[in-house]
Amino acid sequence: MLGSHEAGNAIQFNGNSKNIEMSRYIDLNLYHAIERSHAYYEEMIVGIKQGIFANCKPNGNVLNTLEIGVGTGILTGELLKIGNLQIDALDLDEECIKIHKHVIQDPKCHQLCDDAVTYCKPGHYDILVSAFAHDHIPYALKEKFAQNIKNNLKEGGIYIMGGEILPYYHDDESRKKSLYDYHCHIIDVALKNEHFELAQLEISALKSGIYKIGDFKRHQEEFEEEMASSGMKLISKNKMGPLDRHDIGGVFVYVYQKSSS
């Protein structure tokens, strides 16, 4: 959904190069139809919107917004309800952008097929936001990505990350265990709610993480160190769920600010 390099591949279709990423391992139409049933997804959307209202205080002025890793447009549709956001919706995956253009037809939204690691309009955006997308950037590029987030923002601008955070790991074997611990919980919730197709998608997501096929989830300390490397200031972090488990990671909403102080 976000960057090229390890995260996305240029695939040949009838002699033409085509950028795909999430569409390599996920049925995008099915994803769009059922992803909101993902455990804690709705809570994450609420948390992202609360982060915008708490830190940007929308009052009618246009807020230039870059949504990165937009996928099929689920979050974009929610952001457009705020009213005064002018959104650049960015994704590397051409198949995602095709669906996004079909789903989101609003003059306040402009779709871009580009690489979030390198795409930059220096100091242009009031808000950068991502949902279930930050961890599509390979580990080797995470600090470059964090710096590019900062470069895109105006002074005082904010980055809101809604995403999945793993329990702590210290090597590749423990990383795999962390992936199993987190995803098995999400799969269990889906099965208990009889969301069987969602459980299947989550198994595909687990596989993509195990084999690093476009999915590079971080643990909490790792993510915070990544963002700190850019000099961004942590404003808030909230765990959306599960709230009764502290051993399996979870879905979080982070708010960071570009600040010279």
Residue with tokens 């949902």: 131
Phi first, then psi: give them for residue 123, nearest 5 degrees: 65, 25
Q: Which residues in 109-121 are b (16+ Cβ under 10 Å) and which e?
A: bebbbbbbbebbe
Q: H or E stretch including 239?
A: strand 233-241
Q: Please say whether the beta carbons of 24 and 214 come within 8 A.
A: yes
35-92 residue pLDDT tens: 999 999 999 999 999 999 999 875 678 999 999 999 999 999 999 999 899 999 999 9
Stated pTM of the model:
0.93
Domain range list for the chain: 9-257
- pLDDT level of residue 12 (50, 70, 90 thresholds): very low
Cis before residue 242, ω within 30 degrees of 0? yes
- How many of the other CB atoms lie within 10 Å of CB of 247? 11
For the chain, what is the mean pLDDT?
92
- DSSP tag of 41: H
Q: How many angstroms separate the CA atoms of 63 and 69, rounded?
A: 19
State the pLDDT at residue 125. 98
- The percent of residues in the chain predicted with pLDDT above 90, rounded, is 85
Domain 9-257: which CATH number of 3.40.50.150, 3.30.160.110, 1.10.3470.10, 3.40.50.720: 3.40.50.150
149-199 residue pLDDT tens: 999 999 999 999 999 999 999 999 999 999 999 999 999 999 999 999 999
Higher-confidence position of 144 and 2: 144
Question: Which of 209, 202, 173 shows the shortest CA–CA distance to 185?
Answer: 202
Instruction: Look at residue 98 and tell me whether its pLDDT is greater than 70.
Output: yes
- pLDDT level of residue 7 (50, 70, 90 thresholds): very low
Q: Please say whether the beta carbons of 240 and 256 come within 8 A.
A: no
